[in-house]
Amino acid sequence: MKTHTLETQATMTPKKAIQFLKEGNERFQNNLKANRNLLQQVNETKDGQFPFATILSCIDSRVSAELVFDQGLGDIFSIRIAGNFVNEDILGSMEFACKLAGTKLIVVLGHTSCGAVKGACDHARLGNLTTLINKIEPAVDAVKEPKDESLRNSKNLEFVDAVAVKNVEMTLDNIRSQSPILKEMEDEEQIAIVGAMYDLSDGKVVFL
């Protein structure tokens, strides 16, 4: 697998970028990693980088974007925070990645059985983690079913995963509403902003 260059990045489209990630995830699921020389890529990227996508994912140790999409050095910008939500710093990183560094795609990648989402479902409170969980709790409130409060907690994994999906959707909305730069780029079809969910049980990524 060749390292991305200015020329290959220039020919990339948002649609093609999504297809690249889908193909990479299929390789990952089938344990068929692309043939790439990482040390060679170190050398080829020493003077510059030309990634085609920016991926916001959770810090979960099982959900490394580079691995689950089978990408190498210089292929993607990877932003990680528990609960895969956005703040000003993350939005600034995305604006840099797309407007200045040329990526064609933003993916917000949630995952099943997310610990941060479980914490939000349980309204956990612990030091600085409390502030983080507060940012995910609107997604808990936005999921209306089940209405029975005894089922609206981390023990109900179906509820947890529904909140994780809603959290991805709300993060997409926040990107568009809080970053006029990215919204304009999307409107002009220079980039796409999409959500996806990773399944811890089988390694599959489903784009929403």
Task: Identify the sign of the CA torsion 56, 57, 61, 62.
Answer: negative
**Pair of tokens at residue 94:** 């995305």
Q: Is 60 annotated as a binding residue?
A: yes
Flag whether the pTM goes above 0.85: yes
The number of folded domains in the chain is 1
Q: How far is CA 204 from CA 29, 134, 171, in A?
A: 7, 29, 21
Whether 131 is in a domain gets the answer no
Q: Is 173 annotated as a binding residue?
A: no
Whether 125 is in a domain gets the answer no
Q: What is the CATH number of the domain that holds 190?
A: 3.40.1050.10
pLDDT at 184: 98
Q: Is 202 annotated as a binding residue?
A: no
Whether 119 is in a domain gets the answer no
Task: Give the up-direction half-sphere exposure of residue 158: CA atoms within 13 A in the CB hemisphere.
Answer: 4
**pLDDT means over runs of 10, the chain (208 residues):** 82 95 97 87 85 97 97 94 97 98 97 98 96 97 96 97 98 98 98 98 97
100: domain range? 6-114+169-207
Whether 156 is in a domain gets the answer no
pLDDT at 7: 81
pLDDT at 137: 97
Q: Is 114 annotated as a binding residue?
A: yes
Whether 149 is in a domain gets the answer no
